[in-house]
Amino acid sequence: MEDIVSQTKANYQRNKDKLAMLLSKTPDDKLNWAPSATARSAVQLVAHCADAVRNIHSMLEGKPFEFNGTVELDSRLRESDRRYTSREEVSALLDQNSTAFLDFLDRLKPEQLDVIVTNFAGQFPMSVGIAFPGNHMEGHIAQLEYLQTIWGDVDWYSPLPS
């Protein structure tokens, strides 16, 4: 149990830290820029990740995430993302929702890892579901890295030598 939870926490924290670092490296004039009307800006990507952490966490606690099809869900999520316009807002939201999720992981009992959780994608054991927030975030990190290349930032922000 400790292995699964500690690995999940480590992966989540690594992704959260990378997302926060990439946001911190985003120039002020690019925070709310998006390459098209249907693409998310850097601020919107972080807001989306922070909201997803909260939504997935709620689902893992047995609260259904209800929606009427993917078109309605996408519209609702994008509307929520657009409420945020500053680095500070989304950083605080990401911190708040991450703290709540990591606290949830700390409170999990071994027998809870085998509990079957249901969401719109199907059923799975809790031990699988707890990885969803970090895995979801990882995909959006790649999107933010791509945005950075569009505006000419090709720094890897890696501990590797340049």
Name the CA radius of gyration of the chain, rounded: 16
Location of structure tokens 């690594």: 14
Location of structure tokens 């790649």: 142
Give 21-77 pLDDT, tens digit per residue: 999 999 999 999 999 999 999 999 999 999 999 999 999 999 977 788 888 888 888
**Top CATH class, 2-150:** mainly alpha
For 158, the 3-state DSSP assignment is: coil
148 Cβ partners below 8 Å, 6+ apart? 22, 25, 26, 154, 155
Neighbours of 98 (CB within 10 A): 24
